[in-house]
Chains A and B, each alone.
Chain A
Amino acid sequence: MSYCVNCGVELDDSAKKCALCSTPVVNLNALIPPEEAVPPFPTRVVIPAEVRRRYGAFIASMVFLIPNIVCLVINLMFNFGYLWATYINATSALVWLLLVFPFLFKNPKSYIIVPIDALGVFLYTAVFYAVEHGHGWLFELALPLILVVAAFAFSVAEWIKHKKLDWPILITSLLLQTAVASFGIELIFRYYYELSLLPVVSIIIAACCLALVAFFLSVLKNKRLRAWLSRKFFI
């Protein structure tokens, strides 16, 4: 029988250190060496099987696929002069890509998902561009906008991934990214509509973001304010 010299509790014969304070057990007079004593708990570990997300995603894909095929077949059989099923098929494909596709991966990575999603959104707009016979907006407006939004989404996903990040720093970074993205979006619109390139709306957005950034940076330093915020806005 051994006792912890730090906590004063008796330890079981198999213990090599105290379970409470990790003080090593040194007992030269122990009747049974710790290696030979039967431990109070087994070593067998059972980790329950994971939920099969990919299986669920596969089922959801089938649910998406069946009505789309039905629509397409009906459209081909009863063609009233145009392919109305294109709208349904394209929209379903986009919804599937955004909501179901990531779950087919065991560990979805933002550098794979975001470019594929961006490509999907571009193709979706391209379909409508082709059907509606657009006049140049696809490459001059839609594509740059999609690229800016994708870059913003990628950047946000990468920041959020850091779970250990302090929440005021995370919010600050998100606000700064929002400000930068708003500048990009406004410049694209202004260029397309041939307006002056001097930003107006994005300056207002950036000013609001910077004011909030200043507030959250002050939260970082003020422990009492931070505790009050945590208490008031806990989820």
Chain B
Amino acid sequence: MPKQKQWFKLDNAATVFPGQNTSRWSNIFRFSVMLTEKIDPAILEQALADVMPRFPCYDVRIRNGLFWHYFEKNPNGIPEIQPDIVNPCHRVKFKENRGYLFRIYYYENRISGDFYHALTDGLGACYFVCTLAAQYLRLCGHNISVGGNVLDITFPATPEELDDPYKKCGLSKGKVSRRISSVYHAKGTKAPKHMVNITRGIVSLDDVRALAKSYGATVTEFIGALLLFVHYEKQKEEKRKQKKVCVQIPVSLRKTFGIHTLRNFSLYYLLDIDPMLGEYTFEEVLRHIIFSLRDINNEKTLRAMNTANLKLANSPFMRVMPLVVKDLAIGIASLFTGEKATTVLFTNLGKIDLPEDMLEFVDCVEVMAGPGRLNAVRCGGCGVKDKFIIDFANIFEESDIEKRFFTVLVKMGAHVKIESNRR
């Protein structure tokens, strides 16, 4: 295997995350694979050691330069495998966990990875955890081939997987201005510091697809619209000044630009409805989402959005600004933008592509968007075989949003199984 690269620049999206990091909150998410057999931590540790050289961009710790943060190869072995905890996605501190920016947990038949967003996005984490699970199964004596989201660990990472993908998309002459408006945020009783309430809804992938199809929508459009509608209804019942309700939908750029990367490569759309314009039914909200998303979700818009981000990061003023000032400015700016402009987030990884011979050992997969600071709930969805899991991470004790969401699904005829860390 060729010598591993010793340091990496943070990709264009990742540059903002260290500045947003606080002692209470980090931008972090979880990807899990549930197998059909109980996890043996010793074998999992060996599997992790086998897999790490294939992912040099995760085998890093974050360091401070004079102007930018950077990743350097982590000399501290591999991250510790830990028994799972009830409060995942708690904040990252750069010197903890042997300097690694991801944590691997196991519980019963589940392997989970909590990833700091500066390292990668949901699909990158999916590649890592699926490859880890495949290697674990191999060490358990099963023959697992490679393909889909399971990478071949006998080959080194390609330069394409490790480079900053945002710089390869090309620049657009036009710019997409991103308006920031104050939107509705659900209120409630805050959970204790570093705690999060998780509600996992397991539904049949065929059922959800059929439901979405009956409205002429995709699963992302359908669930995004349902989340928007649930918040719209909740705000209406509060009898307050009606603000816009906005759903943030991240979109992976890998397929659009044909770049296979293990690092961050996604942008997001903000889709909103304004209750001041009148009353909405679910069908109207869904139609609005379908038209808006299909209108803006194209290569040209994505390239223009990326160009705006690149130009900001590459402006001479930003480049010469010392890191301390930059982090401070990002921290303050994120208070006034970021979650201020979104009511809820929904990230959908879709159906995870696993090799045929691995599927019989995999029960399901899940992605959990980490808790927000202002967003009451953040929602993640992904599936394998016929199981689709919709995960809610809620910073409030109340579960009314989850209840509204899943009871609507039940009323539409879907079978929903609920699991939660609420006791």
**Chain B residues whose CB sits within 8 angstroms of the CB of A7 once the complex forms:** 403, 406-407, 410, 418
Point out which of A9, A46, A224, A228 has the most chain B C-beta atoms below 10 A from its C-beta: A9
Given contacts A38-B108, A43-B86, A44-B83, contact A21 B420 (CB under 8 A): no
CB distance from B91 to the nearest CB of A (A): 6
**Chain A residues whose CB sits within 8 angstroms of the CB of B182 once the complex forms:** 231, 234
CB-contacts of A4-50 with B (<8 A): 4, 7-12, 15-16, 18-21, 38, 40-50
CB-contacts of A190-235 with B (<8 A): 223-224, 227-228, 230-231, 234-235
A117 to B305, CA, bound (A): 52
A11 to B406, CA, bound (A): 12
CB pair B194–A48 under 8 Å, yes or no, is yes
CB-contacts of B347-378 with A (<8 A): none
**Chain B residues whose CB sits within 8 angstroms of the CB of A66 once the complex forms:** none
CB pair A231–B418 under 8 Å, yes or no, is no
Would you call B93 an interface residue if the criterion is a C-beta within 8 Å of the partner chain's C-beta atoms? yes
CB distance from A27 to the nearest CB of B (A): 15
CB pair B83–A227 under 8 Å, yes or no, is no
CB pair A20–B241 under 8 Å, yes or no, is no
**Chain A residues whose CB sits within 8 angstroms of the CB of B87 once the complex forms:** 45-47
Given contacts A20-B406, A21-B403, A48-B93, contact A9 B84 (CB under 8 A): no
**Chain A residues whose CB sits within 8 angstroms of the CB of B416 once the complex forms:** 8-10
Would you call A63 an interface residue if the criterion is a C-beta within 8 Å of the partner chain's C-beta atoms? no
CB pair B85–A45 under 8 Å, yes or no, is yes
Point out which of A41, A48, A224 has the most chain B C-beta atoms below 10 A from its C-beta: A41
CB distance from A116 to the nearest CB of B (A): 26
A16 to B83, CA, bound (A): 24
A91 to B420, CA, bound (A): 56
Would you call B402 an interface residue if the criterion is a C-beta within 8 Å of the partner chain's C-beta atoms? yes
Would you call A112 an interface residue if the criterion is a C-beta within 8 Å of the partner chain's C-beta atoms? no
CB distance from B191 to the nearest CB of A (A): 12
**Chain B residues whose CB sits within 8 angstroms of the CB of A9 once the complex forms:** 201, 406-407, 410, 416-418
CB pair A40–B200 under 8 Å, yes or no, is yes
CB distance from A231 to the nearest CB of B (A): 6
CB pair B240–A227 under 8 Å, yes or no, is yes
A230 to B23, CA, bound (A): 28
Would you call B264 an interface residue if the criterion is a C-beta within 8 Å of the partner chain's C-beta atoms? no
Given contacts A9-B416, A45-B87, contact A50 B402 (CB under 8 A): no
**Chain B residues whose CB sits within 8 angstroms of the CB of A48 once the complex forms:** 90-91, 93, 96, 194
CB pair B419–A12 under 8 Å, yes or no, is yes
A223 to B87, CA, bound (A): 38
CB pair B83–A12 under 8 Å, yes or no, is no
Would you call A130 an interface residue if the criterion is a C-beta within 8 Å of the partner chain's C-beta atoms? no
A50 to B90, CA, bound (A): 12
**Chain A residues whose CB sits within 8 angstroms of the CB of B319 once the complex forms:** none
Task: Say whether chain A's binding surface is mostly helix, strand, loop, or mixed.
Answer: loop
Q: Specify the chain A residue showing the minimal Cβ separation from B240.
A: A227
Q: Specify the chain A residue showing the minimal Cβ separation from B106.
A: A42
Counting chain A residues whose Cβ lies within 8 A of the other chain, the interface size class is 20 to 34
CB distance from B242 to the nearest CB of A (A): 9
Residue in B23, B402, B421 whose CB lies within 8 Å of A41 = B421
Would you call B422 an interface residue if the criterion is a C-beta within 8 Å of the partner chain's C-beta atoms? yes
CB pair B84–A42 under 8 Å, yes or no, is yes
CB pair A20–B407 under 8 Å, yes or no, is yes
A48 to B318, CA, bound (A): 33
A12 to B193, CA, bound (A): 27
Would you call A77 an interface residue if the criterion is a C-beta within 8 Å of the partner chain's C-beta atoms? no
A49 to B243, CA, bound (A): 38
CB distance from B203 to the nearest CB of A (A): 10
CB-contacts of A44-90 with B (<8 A): 44-51
A199 to B90, CA, bound (A): 56
CB distance from B82 to the nearest CB of A (A): 8
**Chain B residues whose CB sits within 8 angstroms of the CB of A227 once the complex forms:** 240-241
A231 to B415, CA, bound (A): 40
CB distance from A230 to the nearest CB of B (A): 8
**Chain B residues whose CB sits within 8 angstroms of the CB of A8 once the complex forms:** 407, 410-411, 416
CB distance from A169 to the nearest CB of B (A): 18
Q: Specify the chain B residue showing the minimal Cβ separation from A40.
A: B419
Would you call B199 an interface residue if the criterion is a C-beta within 8 Å of the partner chain's C-beta atoms? yes
A46 to B96, CA, bound (A): 13
CB distance from A14 to the nearest CB of B (A): 9
Q: Specify the chain A residue showing the minimal Cβ separation from B402.
A: A20
As a 0/1 sequence over residues 147 to 190 of chain A, the CB contacts with chain B under 8 angstroms (1 = contact) are 00000000000000000000000000000000000000000000
A59 to B336, CA, bound (A): 32
Residue in A41, A42, A230, A231 whose CB lies within 8 Å of B420 = A41
Residue in A21, A45, A223 whose CB lies within 8 Å of B86 = A45
CB pair A20–B85 under 8 Å, yes or no, is no
Residue in A18, A51, A235 whose CB lies within 8 Å of B23 = A51
A44 to B84, CA, bound (A): 7
CB pair A20–B399 under 8 Å, yes or no, is yes
CB pair A10–B418 under 8 Å, yes or no, is yes
Would you call B107 an interface residue if the criterion is a C-beta within 8 Å of the partner chain's C-beta atoms? yes
CB pair A19–B422 under 8 Å, yes or no, is yes
Point out which of B23, B200, B420 has the most chain A C-beta atoms below 10 A from its C-beta: B420
As a 0/1 sequence over residues 85 to 118 of chain B, the CB contacts with chain A under 8 angstroms (1 = contact) are 1110011010010000000000110000000000
What are 5 inter-chain pairs, A to B, with CB distance below 8 A? A19-B402, A40-B200, A46-B87, A46-B90, A223-B240
4 further A-B pairs in the complex, CB-CB below 8 A; given A7-B403, A47-B193: A7-B407, A8-B416, A20-B402, A48-B96
Binding site for A on B (CB under 8 A): 23, 83-87, 90-91, 93, 96, 107-108, 182, 193-195, 198-201, 240-241, 243, 335-336, 399, 402-403, 406-407, 410-411, 415-423
